[in-house]
Amino acid sequence: MKLGRYFAIFLFSISTAAMAAEPQGSRAQGTGAAAPPGGSEFAASMEKMHAAMASVEPSGNLDTDFVRLMLPHHQAAIDMAKSQLLYGKDPQILRLAQEIIIDQQSEIELMQLWLKQHEPSAQKQNQPPAPQVGKEP
């Protein structure tokens, strides 16, 4: 069941990314219909995420880089889900948005903790002190 939920989130992310990638106003101009409420918030969330991900400097550690890149990705999912809660209508999608907020926030906290535990300064603090050679106590 959990795999199905992740697949739904993946599909939702893809559809939202496609919507955000479209030139602004293209749907409204082509059909005469106004852009849906909340659409601009989705686009703003995606732009913020892309900027944050682009600013991540590679560390040379794939694990660390993965986590640093996933943080803005998860935050964008939360921001988009909050917009969905404000403007959405479908009860199933509204419930999915609530679950996304809870799940993604939990994963953000886990990733932040992992980063804190794996920072070079944290590793130095966890190592025993180097023996002092040639010094009298």
Q: With 0-12 CB in 10 A as exposed, 13-18 as middle and 19+ as buried, what is 59?
A: exposed
Please tell me which residue, 60 or 13, carries the higher pLDDT value: 60
CA 118 remoteness from chain centre: 20
pLDDT tens per residue, range 2-30: 544 544 444 455 445 544 444 444 444 44
Query: Is residue 66 within a helix (H) or strand (E), and if so which, with residue range?
Result: helix 62-87
Task: Kindly report whether the global pTM for this prediction surpasses the value 0.75.
Answer: no
Q: What is the pLDDT of residues 117-137, one digit of tens each?
A: 998 765 554 445 544 555 554
Question: What does the domain layout of the chain look like in residue ranges?
Answer: 2-23+38-118
Query: What single letter denotes the amino acid at residue 109?
Result: E
Q: Give the Cα separation of 107 and 80 in Å (integer).
A: 16
Residue 13, pLDDT score: 52
